[in-house]
Amino acid sequence: MPTRIFLALPLRPAIAILAFAAVSSIALLPAAAAADSHAEDPVPEITPAFDANKTAHDPKHTPKITAPDKVKAGEWFDVTVSIGKDAVHPSLAEHFVRYIAIYTGDVEIARTYLHPVFSQPKVTYTIRLKKSTTLRAMEEPNHTAGWISEHPIEVTP
């Protein structure tokens, strides 16, 4: 009797999977067949809106960086990033800013995730720099790729 139960156990998950596939009309394909199933599909996997970050001006999406043009090396200062240079970006369940980040060069130095409806797309970071650089602010809304703007900062001794 124990041998019979032992042999039947490995079959039960397989039978359950086959039964689920039959009921829900799911095709069970080998991995190679699944990989080739989209070979002739003309629809791209990523929509053009998400292909690349944007740097062109957009009234509601371009980050506005408020920071001094000149600071002393090693001293703390505030950088405020608000989304929308000409108008405030909405904060709705269907249209919102996912996060705001700032970079010095290619290095991210701060990021804030925002909640739709309850968060205004505006953050203030307190940072310090050792050398002159260009700060980049990036915001990513839920419906397109990110938007980027820049602000050069001169660091004096």
pLDDT value of position 62: 87
Within a domain: 89: yes
Task: Report the CATH number that the domain containing residue 83 is assigned in CATH.
Answer: 2.60.40.730
Q: Considering only residues 92 and 1, tell me which one the structure prediction assigns the higher pLDDT.
A: 92
Residue listed under structure tokens 């090693």: 74
Within a domain: 91: yes
Residue 75 above 90 pLDDT? yes
Mean pLDDT of 108-115: 95
Within a domain: 3: no
Of all helices (H) and strands (E), which one includes residue 11? helix 11-24
Instruction: Find the domain containing 122 and state its range.
Output: 54-156
pLDDT value of position 40: 57
Question: Full-prediction pTM beyond 0.75?
Answer: no
Within a domain: 15: no
Structural domains in the chain (count) = 1
Which pair of structure tokens corresponds to residue 118?
A: 């309850």
Within a domain: 19: no
Cα 28-29-30 angle, rounded to 5 deg: 130
Work out the pLDDT band at 42, boundaries 50, 70, 90.
low
Within a domain: 150: yes
Within a domain: 64: yes
Within a domain: 16: no
